[in-house]
Chain A
């Protein structure tokens, strides 16, 4: 088990699968609240549903409607199960509060480095600890690949 330590800003404890993106998320024009899906065409998670997932992302971008859009996911039953993000902004912080899901910010080591989509994680918004309970399959980097070799790894 790997523990990431940060600051809990919305209390509560939840265990769920992680959905990880390196792209900041936009509320207005970025998500569809009825389906809990990312709709920004150029986004890494375009078309992906975050409902019930631990949403791991760098931070919020775009319009000030951010918090209202994520609050709507709570009211529509499409909210993520928890949030883990790194960059503190008014949009993301207020958004996490009104979404009312356990939220940890500024965790180390960096969740974007340590976590992959599909990992089973526990987010503890009381203690500020994110625990990776089970890792999804990682793509292993072979020695051959590292050295630029051509042979196929088993």
Chain B
């Protein structure tokens, strides 16, 4: 005790004094003073600084990774295929990405709380079936949209309540159950057949374009993204979502309403499935119990390859949107290259593995950063 081998930025007074109120005086932050270059300690500092810098660079790269990969992907495809960057094709990509993007934006919230929502694809299908049936019976556009959103909301509520109040150990189980259950209900209500017809509003939202090529569904995505951005970065509830994902036990102790927060993310995810249902119905002019098959996996994949952490607590709307766009671009490129669809599946699988592996790598690098902070002299 008492040997002053240099202090970190906040370890101040090394005097070995007895207990007295007077010893609170301290010199807090003394900058690391450069030492002689011949000093072995100095070379160590230099080496450590170099290591520090490469760590920081690696972490930055992991953070920017998805955006960089997307940019490189777009660049390569644009060089190979002259069609890729035409407004018509861009409109295509955007329209195909819209459903995944809406689902991913809210799957993100679920994943931030360390959860997962597998039921969104089925919920999307049920929403289109219910919407088509309602449209057939009364022809109201607003009524159709309303009932579709309510359908999503109800499934979300069921998920949330079963998970939180039913004390089912993991949302995977709950939403796996509703995945089957809801798909079953959709098949039952529709007799397993598509139902033709959709109101004008829905057709516009899901199928029309503006200025000749910008899909209206993209505007829906942008609007939704803005709302989620407001929620996650500006509103108290959003902060609580991250708090619950970061440390559920601490959230409980700090009087954050953990149960309500958890239920809310499943409700929002269900609602998003309703919105995605509206877009799908508009694009196809029908409701069908087979819509949205595996859409939940696209949404989850988008969140993960976009760079959010599957372990919870971390991820932004940027991650969800970039991930969704990456899936859309990969699919589009494969179509343009006339590659069979099973290649899309293989490529997507590889991308997911890379994304999760880079999340693991990030965790390891951050561990190093923590150690550096502790040993820095």
Q: Do A and B bind each other?
A: no
Interface residues of B (CB under 8 A from A): none
